[in-house]
Amino acid sequence: MLLYCRSAFRVVNKPLQQRALLSTQSDLNIEALDKWISSPPQATLDDTFTFEHLSDLYITLPTRDGTRKPYETPHHSQRLPYGHHLAFFHARQPESRLREDGTDEDISPPKPFLRRMWAGGSITWDNSNPLLIGHKAKAFSNVASAQKKGFEKGRPMVFITQRIELTVGGKSKPSVTEERAHVYFPENTEKKHGVREVKDLPSSADFTFRYTPTPVTLFRYSALMFNAHHIHLDPVYTQNKEGYAERLVHGPLTALMLLENVTFNNSDAQLKRFEYRATNPLIVNRELTLNGTWTSNNTATLWCVDQEGVVGMTGLVQLE
């Protein structure tokens, strides 16, 4: 793991700019951060893929709510659909332990790194040993890597990769292995939200799905995720505190919808691995187009673009 070495503070005859940088570094709680990195948290959570909770997820997703194709009720011992484990295994903290923005500490580094962004991740499935509806499973998570970047440039960020293994009750081999990448910023970081250009995307799509995430969509998905992050729920907070035009669509919802686009249009597909990267924030009430293009017999490039042409997420899926 990458550890940060603090500069010596005994030298006093530094230029004003360098002294200011050192002062800024001292405000970053480096000692506590290094301690956290050297001994990051880990957790084990138990959950059951209940019919009721999964039915609520189905009715929330436009691919499964019965409006585009007949509604299919989940049944006991069926294979859990790809990516639907994201609606389970959540930390259950009392409200008094949540941070001011509604997020839980979970794998978060210490203050002042309180602002987070879901940056991407990967999911690998063992199709010979699937997660099953109605069955219990265990999620073991730890911090696979934690790196500090931009500190020397006055733009400190902490990049954290969380590794999660999901194992069906009574088995020893995980059915799903997931990595989630988050970036954490100091709470007083200047907020600049330009649109990032995404290059080298396919010129056409082999399969697509369009939908508009509304405030109701975001509320329902937040409830399913047990996620009280204000950035998905409170327009005033999102505009005044985070500097965005409106509430943001959840990163994991977009990732799930990329997967749903694959299986909605290719019902027999057996997914092996999915990698994705968040490229730009996606805004509530803007139509999204989910695209997929086959680059080989078992590999497809995926991407999500909004009505303004902003690419919010890219991905790559590999089939068995």
Rg (CA), the chain: 21
Q: Residue 57: helix, strand or coil by DSSP? A: helix
**pLDDT the model gives residue 19:** 34
**pLDDT the model gives residue 3:** 35
DSSP state of 230: G
Q: Residue 246: helix, strand or coil by DSSP? A: coil
Q: 223, 231, 217: which is closest to 185 by C-alpha?
A: 231
Q: 200, 212, 224, 186: which is closest to 301 by C-alpha?
A: 200
Q: How confident is the model at residue 231 (pLDDT cuts 50, 70, 90)?
A: very high
Q: How confident is the model at residue 216 (pLDDT cuts 50, 70, 90)?
A: very high
Q: How confident is the model at residue 25 (pLDDT cuts 50, 70, 90)?
A: low
pLDDT (tens digit, 9 = 90+) per residue, 77-86? 999 999 999 9
Q: Tell me if 226 sits within 8 A of 95, measured CB to CB.
A: no
pTM comes to 0.89
pLDDT (tens digit, 9 = 90+) per residue, 153-174? 888 999 999 999 999 999 999 9
Q: How confident is the model at residue 24 (pLDDT cuts 50, 70, 90)?
A: low
Q: Tell me if 129 sits within 8 A of 52, measured CB to CB.
A: no
Q: 65, 68, 149: which is closest to 113 by C-alpha?
A: 149
Structure-model confidence comparison of residues 226 and 12, the more confident one? 226
Q: How confident is the model at residue 202 (pLDDT cuts 50, 70, 90)?
A: very high
Is it the case that residue 11 has pLDDT exceeding 60? no
Q: Residue 94: helix, strand or coil by DSSP? A: coil
Is it the case that residue 9 has pLDDT exceeding 70? no
Is it the case that residue 72 has pLDDT exceeding 90? yes
Is it the case that residue 215 has pLDDT exceeding 90? yes
What single letter denotes the amino acid at residue 282? L
- With a CB cutoff of 8 Å and minimum separation 6, the contacts of 296 are none
Output the six-digit token pair for 139: 């999620």
d(CA 220, CA 232): 11
Task: Report the phi/psi class of residue 280: left, alpha or beta, with left for phi > 0 and alpha for psi in -120 to 50.
Answer: beta
What is the H or E stretch that residue 32 is in?
helix 30-38
For the ranges 147-156, 191-200, 216-225, the maximum mean pLDDT occurs at 216-225
**pLDDT the model gives residue 26:** 60
pLDDT (tens digit, 9 = 90+) per residue, 235-250? 999 999 999 999 999 9
Q: 286, 112, 144, 139: which is closest to 214 by C-alpha?
A: 286
Is it the case that residue 276 has pLDDT exceeding 70? yes
Structure-model confidence comparison of residues 225 and 15, the more confident one? 225
Q: 259, 250, 195, 258: which is closest to 228 by C-alpha?
A: 250
- Average pLDDT for the chain: 90
pLDDT (tens digit, 9 = 90+) per residue, 93-123? 899 999 888 988 778 899 999 888 889 999 9
d(CA 320, CA 312): 27
Is it the case that residue 310 has pLDDT exceeding 90? yes
